[in-house]
Structure formats: C-alpha cells, structure tokens
Amino acid sequence: MDISSEMIHALLPVYLVVGLGASMVAVGVIEGIAEATAMVVRVFSGALSDWLGKRKLLAVIGYGLAAFTKPIFPLATGLGWIVAARFIDRLGKGIRGAPRDALVADLTPAPIRGAAFGLRQSLDTIGAFVGPLLAVGLMAVMADNFIGVFWIAVFPAFIAFALILFAVKEPVRHAEPQNGRPGLALSDVRRLPPAFWIVVAVGSVLTLARFSEAFLILRAQQLGMAVALVPAILVVMNIVYALSAYPAGALSDRLGRRAMLLIGIVALLLADIVLALAGNIAVVVAGTALWGLHMGLTQGLLAALIADVTPADLRGTAFGIFSFAGGLMLLAASVIAGALWDMIGPAATFFAGAGFTALALVGVAAMLARFKMPMAAR
C-alpha cells in the first residue's frame, strides 16, 4: 500500500500546481487535511479495536478504503475530486493505523519493543521509497504522463488489500473484548497515566514543527529539478528514514528513549536551516536526508514510548489519541507553511519550521527534565 500511495503522493503536489493550476495555499490545505484526517480518525478506530478486541477487521476496512479510492486519482477532472480521493485514502489509513500499532505492541516483548517499532517503521518506509522510485522511472519512460503513472499505482493497492484480507490471521487474544467491558467508556481515558500525556505533548509540538513533505518536493522543483525527477526527493528521505529507524529503536532499548529523541529533534532543526538556505539541488538533497534522519530517530521511538507507558487493554485508544493530537497540529503546520511560501517565499517556510523546532527542543528538554520518562523498556 505504501508503494501505491507514494507513487501518487510523490507526483501529486506538482500535478496539482502544473496540471490543475492549484496555488501553494491549496496544496498546503489539501495535504494538511489529508494527513490530519488519517491521524484524527485513529482515535476512534483505536478505541473501537480495544472494545472489540479485534484488530484485523478495522485493518481490512482501512486498507480496502485506500485501495478502492486509488482509481479516482487518474479519473479526476478537477481539484474537488483530488481532495475527495485524498480524504478517503487517508481516512482508510486512519482506520487501520492505531489497530496496527496496538497489534505490534501486543505481540512484542517489552525489552525489544523499541526494535520492533523501529523495524515496522523501516519496513513501512521501504515501500515509501520504492513508490517514488517507480514513479521516477515510469515518468521517464512514459514522457511525464501523470495519469498513466496513477493508473499503474492502482495495482499494488489491491494486492495489499488481498494480503490483509486473506493472509493475515486475527490473534487469539483478541477474539473477545478485554476486561468484559460492555461498551466504549470515556472513563477509560482517565486510566491513561500522566506519562502518556507528556508523550502526546512532545509528539504534538514536533508535528507542528514538521509540515507536509510535499514542500520538500516543491522546494526541489523551485530550484530547477526536472518534473520527472522530483519524486527522487522522497526516495532520498525514505532511504535515510528506513536505514535509521531500526537501529534507532534498538539503541533506544539499550541506551534509553530520551537521548535518541533529543538527537532526532536536532536533526530536524538542521534540516530546516539547510532547506531554507538551499541554493541548488544538492543542498536540497542534503536537507532532505537530514529530514529523513529525524523521522527515523523519532517516529518509531514515540510509538514505543506510547506502548511503554500505557495499559495493554488501552493501547488502541492511546495510539488513537496520540494521532488525533498530531493530526490537528499537522493541519495547522501545512496551512501555515503554504501561506508563508505564497506570501514571502520558500525560505520563510523552512525558517518558520526551524523556529518551531527550536521551541520544541527547549520544551522537550524541559519536560524530560521535570517528569520521569522511561529511559528504556524494562
């Protein structure tokens, strides 16, 4: 599914601007709504998976929605269709996301939880760079035919849907609702410990500092990269992301989560500064690599922290709330980034990101110093 989604996502910002005449603000709004939708929906799917005691059903629904919306992209005749397709596609991602993360946590022994989430993140990201790489090759072969590439992206989506439907089995432990609860209860949220809310705050501030990756693609195009090659930006980011996520998770199991998190935030700060000052494609590539390093060092680690500090029977709910908070911040961040780009220029967008990241670094350091967080899984 990542291959399919990223084949489209890697080309979509340029297609919106060049093919459909969309403004940068429109790109920011579309990307913000799409990604925020995925994160917001997770809060409901996660809580529902806790109540049902079943993870696979929601995963199948989520992957199915994503697969059946893929043909809309090549068939779309206007911006409205693209917005609808992105919305439903990300809705599917949101439905499957929290149950999947909770399932990983359920099946993983605590001493290697960081490594497990790092491995999951690495495998996800392999699909995320294979997709743009295929998009680059197909655009070259098909003479910049966006529609043709979008049609080819339909096939891996349906392969993924078939795999989740027929090849994945529901673990026995989720056959019945846990704790015998008769229904969803808001009182369960009060059982989430203070450490969980600290992790939510940390993740939310970081999301505000890190807007949509569409702006990495547009920065490369703005500095002269050929349209057929712009998906290579996501390839670079995701290769670094994939290579760093598993080692970062494994190191956090042994050395602690806090140090890795702070290093990851510094990587984002450097990435924003490099991208703001970039004067050629090589510098954009360097900044993109730092962005990918930040993702590898922080995303699996934050998921492992959520699993560390929450009760097993509330993990779906916990992952959902975490994503909900991040979704709101991502929407705001992407809209702000697009507005700054249109009104001032691309450098302003990335300098603003650096400013938010610096605030996040100070805030995270203060929170980690004041509150006890897991040094490593025990």
pLDDT band, residue 173 (cuts 50/70/90): low
Q: Quick one: what percent of the chain has pLDDT higher than 90?
A: 12
pLDDT of 115 strictly over 50: yes
Q: What is the pLDDT of residue 259?
A: 79
Rounded mean pLDDT of 299-322? 82
Burial class (CB in 10 A: 0-12, 13-18, 19+), 77: exposed
**Closest CA relative to residue 131, chosen from 212, 14, 235:** 235
Handedness of CA 327, 245, 349, 201 (dihedral sign): positive
- Whether the per-residue pLDDT at 153 is higher than 80: the answer is yes
Lowest pLDDT segment from 43-57, 228-242, 330-344: 43-57
Q: What is the pLDDT of residues 335-369, one digit of tens each?
A: 888 888 888 888 888 898 888 888 878 877 776 66
d(CA 56, CA 336): 36
Lowest mean pLDDT among 56-65, 113-122, 289-298: 113-122
319, two tokens: 């992952």
Residue 143: Cβ-neighbour burial (10 angstroms; 0-12, 13-18, 19+): exposed
Neighbouring C-beta atoms of residue 78, cutoff 10 Å:
8
The one-letter code for the residue type at 253 is D
Residue 201 pLDDT > 80: yes
Q: Is 280 left (phi over 0), alpha (psi -120 to 50) or beta?
A: beta
Answer yes or no: is pLDDT of 182 > 50. Answer: no
Does position 228 have pLDDT exceeding 80, yes or no?
no
Tell me the C-alpha distance between 269 and 285, whole Å.
15
Pick left, alpha or beta for residue 144 (phi over 0 → left; psi -120 to 50 → alpha; otherwise beta): left
**186: burial class by Cβ within 10 Å (0-12, 13-18, 19+)?**
exposed
CATH code given to domain 2-168+191-370: 1.20.1250.20
Amino acid at 4: S
